[in-house]
Amino acid sequence: MKKFAVEKNMLLLALGALAVFSIGGIGSTLIPPLVDKSLVTSTSDKPVHQYTEQEQRGIEIYKAEGCVYCHTQQIRDMVSDQKRYGWRLVDAAVSESWEYTQDKYHFLGTKRTGPDLARVGGKYSNQWHWAHFKDPRNMGEKFRSSRGPYESSSVMPSFKYLTDEEIKDLTAYLQTLGRNKNWRVDSNDRPLNDYED
Ligand code: HEC
């Protein structure tokens, strides 16, 4: 049976395989920003937030504690995402690529055991986060249960083994999430929090 050159030459075969393999990579990484400039241009007139040292420590803790296994950080272009992670009557803005440009690690995530955190910044006070990390079951919604009148059903583990400093660092990081995009602002264009400082 006749053999093609590529079947006889290892180098040609390897190069051919590499070329075929890279079509997917190039098609999903290099080409989209060339075709659609909106993917890489900011829709905000403000520079993307630079993380402070404290927030950077918080990022390391977020990574080390595996928060990403239960929490995503992406509001997808779906009504359900926008409604679910919105705030009062304001729908959560869809995540855009420029919002992540300062991120060294990407916590987009793939699994939502807990809620998405892409826009959680400003949603709760630091005190709320403090209490929630110490004992998640004591916070949030409570449901009627056969074991008692009401029971919280959070499956989030307690992080009370973290030091006070670590909880503060982690909270500082969480409070930045989603705030690059001004989707919750007061009449003076200042970011609005969901709590009184
Ligand atoms: C085993 C899965 C799991 C892990 C790991 C986990 N969480 Fe959660 N998280 C949840 C669930 C479930 C909820 C919803 C119930 C609640 O509020 O406790 C939640 C809620 C939250 C909320 C409130 C979000 C909202 O919009 O109400 C924050 C903030 C949060 N988690 C942060 C973290 C951080 C930071 C870490 C890592 C230190 C972490 N979680 C680790 C499951 C998890």
CA of 71 relative to ligand 1 center, distance in Å: 7
pLDDT beyond 60 at 19 = yes
Q: What distance in Å separates the CA atoms of residue 41 and residue 118, rounded to the nearest whole number? A: 19
- Two tokens at 27? 């098609």
**Taking Cα atoms as reference points, which of 189, 177, 156 lies closest to residue 55?**
177
**Pocket mutation for ligand 1, best pick of 70, 116, 128 (most atoms within 8 Å of C-beta):** 70
Q: Using 50, 70 and 90 to split pLDDT, how confident is the model at 159?
A: very high
Q: What distance in Å separates the CA atoms of residue 81 and residue 92, rounded to the nearest whole number? A: 8
Tell the residue nearest (CA) to atom 37 of ligand 1.
67
**In Å, how far from its chain's centre is CA 56?**
15
Taking a C-beta distance cutoff of 8 angstroms, is the pair 72, 118 a contact? yes
Q: Using 50, 70 and 90 to split pLDDT, how confident is the model at 77?
A: very high
pLDDT beyond 80 at 1 = no
- Kindly give the number of the ligand 1 atom that is closest to the alpha carbon of 132: 18
Give percent of the chain with pLDDT exceeding 70. Answer: 92
Question: Which single residue is written with the structure tokens 């400082």?
Answer: 197
pLDDT (average), residues 67-75: 97
* Residues 6+ positions from 62 with CB-CB distance below 8 Å: 68, 107, 170, 173
pLDDT digits (tens, 9 = 90+) for 103-154: 999 999 999 999 999 999 988 899 999 999 999 888 766 666 676 666 667 8
Q: What distance in Å separates the CA atoms of residue 38 and residue 110, rounded to the nearest whole number? A: 24
- Two tokens at 54? 């404290």
Give percent of the chain with pLDDT exceeding 90. Answer: 60
Tell the residue nearest (CA) to atom 5 of ligand 1.
67
Q: What distance in Å separates the CA atoms of residue 38 and residue 31, rounded to the nearest whole number? A: 13
Taking a C-beta distance cutoff of 8 angstroms, is the pair 138, 151 a contact? no
**70 Cβ below 6 A of ligand 1:** yes
